[in-house]
């Protein structure tokens, strides 16, 4: 499996990382009671700009989340072989940094500690945790650190669902209570042990908007691997399930970048039909019609823009948006990108599984 993670540690700055996971297959959780400790520790990593500052921030958040019961809420969704889940901090305890060091790869690691309250200690004492250990053998330490956490959390959620419901529902919401998170890295693999109680608040089916979001993100992930064209069946499935002007426009932007202008026209015409009062679609269509020689359509679009008092002699700046298209995992259950607060984890399929998806995908009326 491949994982894409927005954020770092339990929560973090919103950024985009495409990561290949080389994790141990089928890690098995055990459900046990564990001794509680009053002092807990959290680890934070960060790379790039303000790495030391962000590593400290992530360490404080992890220590705080472990010390406070029900500190993280999550929403989990699964459609076909693809999963996406978001975690968000909802409660915290005071924490402090106890050490910081620079890593060999230029990143930073920080360790923080926090104290559990008497109430928190009592809850932890009587809680049965999902205790799971995963391994990641990715070449880079950064990948091992981020992948192992995402895998352990996803496995804890899904195996807790199987333990409670006897299956993994397509959609689940709940809160997380952590007992501990520990890591060991020998330079070749990282072993991460996580003990967490998954408290489910609700479960059910995905809406059409949510199903479409999962497929659209699968297509975006394929774009990151320069396979947007061959995997376009995933985009087509998304808009078949939930026709959406924003999805059409995004596909058109990708098509413009890749010089598939006729595909861009088809997508923008659909976007324009969904939202005929948004002149940005009409402006782009006017330019595309002119570029590919659809003169009659270009004249019609020009007349409509003049009627709407939106025609300009040089509309090139609108098309240039497409040249800046970058694939990005988005959480958008209603077609509109939501506030990316929290951390978004997306589980993609590997190349062989993607080929199978493309081969077997039959776009049909739902």
185 and 135, same structural domain? Answer: yes
Final residue of a structural domain among 154, 172, 204: 204
pLDDT 10s per residue in the chain (366 long)?
555 444 444 433 223 333 333 455 578 999 999 998 999 999 999 999 999 999 999 999 999 999 999 999 999 999 988 999 999 988 888 999 999 999 999 999 999 999 999 999 999 999 999 999 999 999 999 999 988 999 999 999 999 999 999 999 999 999 999 999 999 999 999 999 999 999 999 999 999 999 999 999 999 988 888 888 888 999 999 999 999 999 999 999 999 988 899 999 999 999 999 988 788 898 889 989 998 999 999 999 888 888 887 776 555 555 655 456 777 888 876 655 555 567 888 876 677 777 776 776 644 444
Q: CA–CA distance from 30 to each of 130, 155, 289 (Å)?
A: 6, 11, 61
51 and 101, same structural domain? Answer: yes
Distance from C-alpha of 177 to C-alpha of 66, rounded to nearest angstrom:
7
Half-sphere exposure of 240 (CA within 13 A, CB side): 13
| Residue that is written with structure tokens 């026709």 in the block | 243
179 and 100, same structural domain? Answer: yes
188 and 240, same structural domain? Answer: no
CB 67 within 8 A of CB 114: yes
Phi, psi of 175 (to 5 degrees): -130, 150
257 and 157, same structural domain? Answer: no
User: What pLDDT, on a 0 to 100 scale, did the predictor assign at position 98?
Assistant: 97
Distance from C-alpha of 157 to C-alpha of 21, rounded to nearest angstrom:
18
Distance from C-alpha of 149 to C-alpha of 192, rounded to nearest angstrom:
7
pTM > 0.85: yes or no: no
Distance from C-alpha of 78 to C-alpha of 346, rounded to nearest angstrom:
10
| Residue that is written with structure tokens 């915290």 in the block | 92
132 and 7, same structural domain? Answer: yes
257 and 143, same structural domain? Answer: no
C-alpha distance across the termini of the chain, in Å = 27
299 and 170, same structural domain? Answer: no
Distance from C-alpha of 30 to C-alpha of 129, rounded to nearest angstrom:
8
The pair of structure tokens assigned to 53 is: 């500052």
259 and 151, same structural domain? Answer: no
- Inside any domain, residue 363: no
- Inside any domain, residue 58: yes
Question: What residue numbers bound the domain in which 245 lies?
Answer: 228-346
The domain total for the chain is 2
Rg (CA), the chain: 23
């Amino acid at each position: 499996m491949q994982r894409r993670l927005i954020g770092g540690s339990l929560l973090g700055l919103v950024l985009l990382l495409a990561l290949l996971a080389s994790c141990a297959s089928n890690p098995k959780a055990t459900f046990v009671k564990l001794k509680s400790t009053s002092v807990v520790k959290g680890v934070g990593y960060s790379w790039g700009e303000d790495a030391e500052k962000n590593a400290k921030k992530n360490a404080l958040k992890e220590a705080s989340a472990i010390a406070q019961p029900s500190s993280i809420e999550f929403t989990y969704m699964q459609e076909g072989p693809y999963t996406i889940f978001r975690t968000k901090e909802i409660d915290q305890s005071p924490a402090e940094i106890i050490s910081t060091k620079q890593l060999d790869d230029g990143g930073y690691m920080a360790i923080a500690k926090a104290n559990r309250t008497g109430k928190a200690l009592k809850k932890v004492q009587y809680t049965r945790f999902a205790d799971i250990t995963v391994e990641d053998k990715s070449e880079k330490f950064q990948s091992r650190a981020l992948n192992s956490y995402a895998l352990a959390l996803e496995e804890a959620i899904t195996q807790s669902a199987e333990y409670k419901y006897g299956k993994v529902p397509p959609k689940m919401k709940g809160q997380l209570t952590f007992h501990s998170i520990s890591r060991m890295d020998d330079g070749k693999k990282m072993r991460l042990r996580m003990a967490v109680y998954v408290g489910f608040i609700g479960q059910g089916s995905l809406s059409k908007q949510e199903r479409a979001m999962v497929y659209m993100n699968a297509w975006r992930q394929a774009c990151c691997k320069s396979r947007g064209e061959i995997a376009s069946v995933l985009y087509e499935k998304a808009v078949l399930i939930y026709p959406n002007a924003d999805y059409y426009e995004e596909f058109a932007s990708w098509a413009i970048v890749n010089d598939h202008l006729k595909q861009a026209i088809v997508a923008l015409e659909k976007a324009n039909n969904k939202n005929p009062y948004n002149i940005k679609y009409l402006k782009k269509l006017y330019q595309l019609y002119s570029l590919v020689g659809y003169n009659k359509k270009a004249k019609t679009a020009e007349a409509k823009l003049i009627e709407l008092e939106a025609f300009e002699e040089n509309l090139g700046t609108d098309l240039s948006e497409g040249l800046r298209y970058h694939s990005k995992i988005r959480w958008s259950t209603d077609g509109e990108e939501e506030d990316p607060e929290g951390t978004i984890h997306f589980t993609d399929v590997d190349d062989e599984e993607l080929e199978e998806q493309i081969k077997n995908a039959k776009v049909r009326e739902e």
